Amino acid sequence: MKSFLFISSFLVLLSCTSNATQSSKIPKEIKQAERDDLKVDINKLYRSNYPRTEFLQTGIYKSEAYFRDEDELEQDFLNDSWLGIFKTKQNWFLLPVKPQIETVFDGIIDDAEADTANWSGKIMHSAKNCRYVLRKGRLQPKQLKVLYADRTSPTFHDEKSVLLPGDTLKYEVNGLHYWIIAKGQKLPKQEGLDDQRFGQYALYLETDDPKQEQKVQLLRSVDPSYEYGPNRLECLFVGLIDADAIPDLIISSNFDGCILYLSGEAKEQRIVEPVFYEPMTSGC
């Protein structure tokens, strides 16, 4: 009898233990499933475009810029101080410029071209021979020493300015050498697309100046690809814009418009620092 009771108790205990084990497995399996659902690509989470334009101030525009009321740029143009990069036949200058705003018809937003009172399109005009408009900040008017400038216009691109992976743009100031180097990978051509696309694009600036960091990153695009086409990246301008003898840069990107890099704003021995960017406006 005692043996029977002992065996019965053992079977009951074994059954309880088994049920407890099974019940304890269920939440573990759910938690594992939850972890699988929450898996994140660390590269996508932490890697971003550089520079992060949300930390920069808008402050560089082409000589003419289109925008709309909702972009809230008009008062900025009218109330702040601006300088223009001017090109004459012989020289380049950084001179004060007063942007002028013209209200125009916007074919997408506005209902009737005749209803001039409700036009929402805006154009900022600068001045004759002005190539770029810059927020003044700490910049001062001066004659510019220009090391490289593309011939970009709304309808023409200077092929030399386009920096594809493997390309290098070289220049020299006071015996010191600088190299703008583009890196990236060719992507397989997609059917129906003529343009070559590239991934993991990065742009670097190197120098042999012993007083500067030897290599800094200028730009990084996390877009899986960018076109050798309308959104291509270009070095538009290299010259001495601020007060020192280290070249400053204007570079186009495929996630915003132009970006102005100034050596005078560089931190921790970096060669240059991104300062102003050209916003993507709602205009077309």
Span 174-190, pLDDT tens digits: 999 999 999 888 888 77
- Is the pLDDT score of 33 beyond 70? no
Q: Which of 4-18, 42-56, 94-108, 207-221 has the lowest mean pLDDT?
A: 4-18
Please say whether the beta carbons of 99 and 77 come within 8 A.
yes
Query: What does the alpha-carbon distance between residue 208 and residue 170 come to, in Å, rounded to a whole number?
Result: 12
* Reported confidence tier of residue 166, pLDDT bands at 50, 70, 90: confident
pLDDT higher than 80, residue 16 = no
Number of H helices, E strands in the chain: 3, 18
221 pLDDT above the threshold of 70: yes
Mean pLDDT, residues 58-81: 90
Q: Where are the alpha helices (DSSP H) in the chain?
A: 2-37, 42-46, 74-79
Report yes or no on 173 lying in a domain: yes
Give the total number of structural domains in the chain. 1
Range of the domain at 210: 53-277
Instruction: Give ∠ CA 184-200-227 in degrees, rounded to 5.
Output: 80
Other Cβ atoms within 10 Å of 42 Cβ, number? 8
Which region, left, alpha or beta, applies to residue 174 given φ > 0 means left and ψ of -120 to 50 means alpha? left
Does residue 201 carry a pLDDT above 70? yes
With 50 as the cut, is the pLDDT of residue 21 above it? no
pLDDT of residue 142: 96
Q: Where do the H-state alpha helices sit in 38-135?
A: 42-46, 74-79
Q: For residue 108, tell me if it sits in a domain.
A: yes
Its pTM stands at 0.76
Number of residues written out for the chain: 284
Tens digit of each residue's pLDDT (9 = 90 or more) over 224-252: 555 444 456 788 999 999 989 999 999 98
> Is the Cβ–Cβ distance between 94 and 144 less than 8 Å?
yes
How far is the C-alpha of 242 from the C-alpha of 245, rounded, in Å?
8
pLDDT score at 243? 87
Give the rounded percent of residues in the chain with a pLDDT score beyond 70.
73
Is 174 within a domain?
Answer: yes
Does the residue 26 lie in any domain?
no
Is 272 within the bounds of a domain? yes
Query: Does pLDDT of 129 surpass 90?
Result: yes
Average pLDDT over the chain reads: 78
Number of Cα atoms under 13 Å in the Cβ half of residue 183: 12
Q: Report the pLDDT value the prediction gives residue 25, as an integer from 0 to 100.
A: 34
Question: Bigger pLDDT: 157 or 260?
Answer: 260
Please compute the mean of the pLDDT values over residues 117-121 and round it to a whole number.
83
Residue 16 lies inside a defined structural domain of this protein: no
Residue 159 covered by a domain: yes
Note the pLDDT tens digit of each residue in 78-117.
Answer: 999 999 999 998 899 999 999 999 998 888 888 888 788 7
Q: How many CB atoms lie within 10 A of CB 182?
A: 21
Percent of the chain past pLDDT 90, that is, above it, reads: 38
Q: Is residue 41 part of a domain?
A: no
